[in-house]
């Protein structure tokens, strides 16, 4: 891989300055290697982050089935209403960073039209699978994978129209600080989409996890993903470790995450699946409108929880945001489309 076409996006993780075409820093002269065609843009990481890295070196997440194809990737992604909405909402010419891309499925799914997509992760084992998939699917020119730590990323601040990070921040030592760091990657007027474990939606998994641990993993009751992956040992193991044995896991409420947005001067737009039920209800109450019967409300609440838990990938909320104050740079037409489609 060369810096060609993506050279404005990568920087030295030590000092934040530009790199030469040979992956050396133009300012501090530090040079970076790119074994296996994946640049290693890391500087020192803390011990807890390194534990998380090793965890995913052993079990890249989520991995690929034995027989796959670009059609499989698209069909698999499009089972998720959220993925379809996100893809529709991102402009054809957007520059997108996926922070913590794992084995790269979302980066590759979003890689069409004239988009530039960067998938960044700590785990080289995951990135190797991601790069190999991009080659199998003929997408290697549209997506670049790099190894970097989101705390000191080899990525230029303000360079991205869309910052997407799902299932990652809650595995960092200080998710609020991690959010603040990745938020800086978005250009003024850009969008930040984060997927996080929701404190309430995670309760059923925590019950299952307690039972699994007590039974030394003989009883992984009612886990539909583990059931589906009976004949795919590597992917089953990746799921089991990620969900049941993770060294660092936080859970968050909507209110907490909204405070992160406010603290970083990012306007909160919405959550998906809609966790705005109760907020919407509060607004209707203020406006003197009906919020329906208690039964209807309970049914809607149960429906929301079922969707959160039943996604089969991650029980969490996704937040879409836009920086409120474009600072003198051209805001592309895509911003409004994103707001309409996802907001
Ligand atoms: C649960 S996996 C999610 C992968 C992918 N986003 C998905 O939804 O399938 C979490 C990923 O975050 C990455 N990660 C965790 N901490 C990170 C950090 N500090 N910097 C970059 N990536 C990190 C891990 O290596 C892992 O691949
Ligand atoms: Zn430097």
Ligand 1 atom with minimal separation from the 150 CA: 20
pLDDT digits (tens, 9 = 90+) for 20-50: 989 999 999 899 999 999 999 999 889 999 9
| Residue 167 predicted with pLDDT over 70 | yes
Mean pLDDT across 199-215: 82
Report CA(131)–ligand 2 centroid distance (Å).
Answer: 26
Q: For the chain, what is the domain count?
A: 1
Ligand with the closest atom to the CA of 171: 1
Q: In what order do the strands lie in the sheet with 116-121?
A: 143-147, 116-121, 95-99, 160-166, 186-197, 316-322, 267-272
Mean pLDDT across 92-115: 96
Ligand with the closest atom to the CA of 195: 1
Query: What residues line ligand 1, using a CB cutoff of 6 Å?
Result: 49, 52, 56, 61-62, 100-102, 121-123, 126, 149-151, 166-168, 171-172, 242
Q: Which residues contact 321 (CB under 8 A, 6 or more apart)?
A: 191, 192, 193, 261, 266, 267, 268, 269
Strands (E), 273-339: 316-322
Look up the domain containing 253 and give its range. Answer: 3-342
Q: In this predicted structure, what is the pLDDT of residue 186? A: 92
Test site for ligand 1: of 38, 40, 44, 122, most ligand atoms within 8 A of the Cβ: 122
Report CA(150)–ligand 1 centroid distance (Å).
Answer: 9
| Residue 322 predicted with pLDDT over 80 | no
Tokens 């592309």 belong to residue: 332
Q: In this predicted structure, what is the pLDDT of residue 257? A: 87
CATH of the domain at 245: 3.40.50.150
| Residue 177 predicted with pLDDT over 70 | yes
């Amino acid at each position: 891989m060369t810096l060609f076409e993506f050279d404005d996006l990568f920087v030295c993780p030590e000092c934040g300055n530009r790199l030469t075409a040979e992956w050396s820093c133009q300012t501090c002269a530090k040079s970076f290697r790119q074994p296996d065609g994946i640049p290693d843009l890391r500087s020192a990481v803390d011990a807890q982050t390194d534990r998380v890295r090793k965890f995913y070196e052993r079990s890249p997440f989520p991995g690929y089935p034995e027989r796959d194809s670009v059609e499989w990737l698209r069909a698999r992604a499009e089972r998720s209403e959220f993925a379809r909405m996100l893809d529709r909402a991102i402009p054809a010419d957007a520059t997108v960073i996926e922070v913590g891309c794992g084995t790269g499925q979302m980066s590759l799914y979003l890689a069409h039209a004239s988009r530039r997509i960067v998938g960044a992760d700590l785990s080289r084992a995951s990135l190797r699978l991601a790069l190999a998939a991009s080659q199998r699917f003929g997408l290697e020119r549209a997506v670049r994978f790099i190894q970097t730590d989101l705390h000191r990323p080899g990525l230029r601040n303000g360079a991205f129209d869309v910052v997407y990070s799902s299932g990652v921040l809650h595995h960092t030592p200080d998710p609020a600080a991690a959010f603040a760091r990745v938020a800086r990657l978005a250009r003024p007027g850009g969008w930040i989409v984060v997927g996080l474990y929701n404190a309430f939606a995670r309760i059923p998994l925590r019950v299952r996890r307690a039972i699994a641990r007590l039974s030394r993993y003989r009883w992984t009751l009612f886990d539909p993903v583990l059931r589906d992956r009976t004949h795919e040992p590597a992917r089953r193991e990746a799921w089991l470790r990620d969900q049941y044995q993770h060294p660092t896991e936080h859970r968050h409420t909507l209110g907490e995450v909204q405070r992160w947005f406010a603290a970083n001067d990012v306007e909160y737009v919405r959550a998906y699946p809609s966790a705005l039920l109760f907020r919407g209800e509060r607004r209707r109450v203020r406006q003197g409108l009906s919020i329906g019967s208690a039964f209807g409300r309970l049914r809607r609440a149960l429906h929301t929880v079922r969707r959160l838990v039943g996604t089969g990938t991650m029980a969490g909320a996704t937040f879409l945001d836009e920086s409120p104050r474009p600072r003198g740079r051209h805001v592309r037409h895509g911003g409004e489309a994103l707001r309409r489609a996802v907001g």
